[in-house]
Amino acid sequence: MNVYTILIISFLVLVFIVETAADVFNVKNISNEIPDEFKDVYPSGKYAKSQNYLKTRTKFAIVSSAFFLAVQIVFIVCGGFNYVDEMARALTEGQFFAGSSQIITGLIFAAILAAFVAIL
């Protein structure tokens, strides 16, 4: 593993830690008590329900982010980008894209990655 790979993975982990910490601090400060400014305008039961939904949604987002981070790290370490690059180059060397430019190869590369992310 080279220095750039370590830097990229470290950056991904750091971003995850900072975003997760912010989410955790936000969830800790959620209160089911409606603020005084909104007591006349917004029903307290509905406010409590929305706060519980926010807590649940944030917890799910943290789990989802952790899963996606793990997939990204495995993808990077196992040479996933190289494999996708080889697939894109093989497609551009085929009969349909024969003689196509590097732009087409890059677009196919991006499309394969986008499809992979959409499946996840």
89-115 pLDDT tens trace: 888 876 666 666 788 889 999 999 999
CA distance 104 to 89: 9
> What confidence tens digit (pLDDT) does each residue in 28-44 have?
988 888 888 888 888 88
Q: Specify the pLDDT at position 34.
A: 84
Give me the chain's average pLDDT, please.
Answer: 89
Q: What is the pTM of this model?
A: 0.77
For the purposes of burial, counting CB atoms within 10 Å of the CB of 92, is it exposed (0-12), middle (13-18) or buried (19 or more)? buried
Q: Specify the pLDDT at position 98.
A: 63
Residue 31 three-state SS? coil
Residues 6+ apart with CB under 8 A from 100: 92
Residues 6+ apart with CB under 8 A from 76: 5, 8, 9
